[in-house]
Amino acid sequence: QVLLQESGPGLVKPSQTLSLTCTVSGGSISSGSFYWSWIRQSAERGLEWIGRLYTGGITSYSPSLKSRVSMSVDTSKNQFSLELKSLTAADTAVYYCARGDWGYFDHWGQGALVTVSS
Amino acid sequence: QSALTQPASVSGSPGQSITISCTGSSSDVGAYNHVSWYQQHPGKAPKLIIYDVNKWPSGVSNRFSGSKSGNTASLTISGLQAEDEADYYCCSYAGSRVFGVFGGGTKLTV
């Protein structure tokens, strides 16, 4: 059973950069044909796909967040990461990491609440 | 504003069937057979219950079924049970630039 676990700060100041890491267990992040995504959820915006990463570090990002997002992978630790720059209160949300394929996400982390506030 | 449109709420009695609609466009739902549905209980992560319009992940009850016509996808839950009370979200592939666009969610009351 593949398990995903998000980790990172729960509180970040406006204008700063959010860094989150997703640790994958029960399967190798570099095997298979799955994509590894970040998704966030807030009351205001609902569920929002942020970006995805594929084996070899190939990435694609939501057009609405592309200018502020970057994702990376560390296969030696079976982890992938998210960086979101220039935070505002609108970025306050629960951030999920997830495994998926075209248009679906079959394994999710438990979620990490991130609050943007001074 | 969510890319896909779902009703805010639906309700049904135990044993009944309900259907939740998910309306997109010719760029997402209408263009690809990659629609998925998720069940989310309070405080929990979403759980995949349908993918590729009408396929079940391992371990998901066949009381959940999916379909699609044109730009609208639908989730039907038959034989409603109390534990089905949750929020339900649809999601569609929308091309290589937008891996997944979600609906705004539907609260099911049983």
pLDDT band at residue B1 under the 50/70/90 scheme: very low
What integer best gives the mean pLDDT of chain B? 95
CB < 8 Å to A49, chain B = 98-102
Residue of B nearest to A104 (CA): B36
Which residue intervals of chain B are DSSP H helices? none
Q: Is the CB of B45 less than 8 angstroms away from the CB of A104? A: no
Q: Are B24 and B92 in contact (CB under 8 A)?
A: yes
Q: What is the pLDDT of residue A101?
A: 87
Q: Are B84 and B108 in contact (CB under 8 A)?
A: yes
User: Which of B99, B101, B102, B107 has the most A C-beta neighbours within 10 Å, making it the best mutation to test the interface with A?
Assistant: B99
Q: What is the pLDDT of residue A4?
A: 97
Give the best-scoring range by mean pLDDT among A47-61, B64-78, B87-101.
B64-78
**Mean pLDDT score, A48-62:** 89
Q: Side-chain half-sphere of B53: how many Cα atoms within 13 Å?
A: 14
Q: Are A107 and B38 in contact (CB under 8 A)?
A: no
Of A50, A98, A109, A46, which is closest to residue B107 (Cα–Cα)?
A: A46
Residue of A nearest to B89 (CA): A47
Extract the tokens encoding B106.
Answer: 């539907």
Residue of B nearest to A43 (CA): B104
Q: Partners of A93 in the beta sheet?
A: A114
CB < 8 Å to B105, chain A = 46-47
pLDDT band at residue B2 under the 50/70/90 scheme: low
pLDDT at B65 over 90: yes
Of B32, B45, B49, which is closest to residue A5 (Cα–Cα)?
A: B45
Q: Is the CB of A46 less than 8 angstroms away from the CB of B45? A: no
Rounded distance, CA B89 to CA B10, Å?
A: 13
Strand boundaries in B53-95, DSSP class E: 64-69, 72-77, 86-92
**Mean pLDDT score, B62-72:** 97
- Closest partner residue to B45 (CB to CB) among A49, A102, A110 is A110
Q: Which residue has the higher pLDDT, A31 or A97?
A: A97
Residue of A nearest to B5 (CA): A46
Name the percent of chain B lying above pLDDT 90: 92
pLDDT at A9 over 60: yes
Q: Partners of B91 in the beta sheet?
A: B36, B102
What integer best gives the mean pLDDT of chain A? 94
Q: Is the CB of B52 less than 8 angstroms away from the CB of A96? A: no
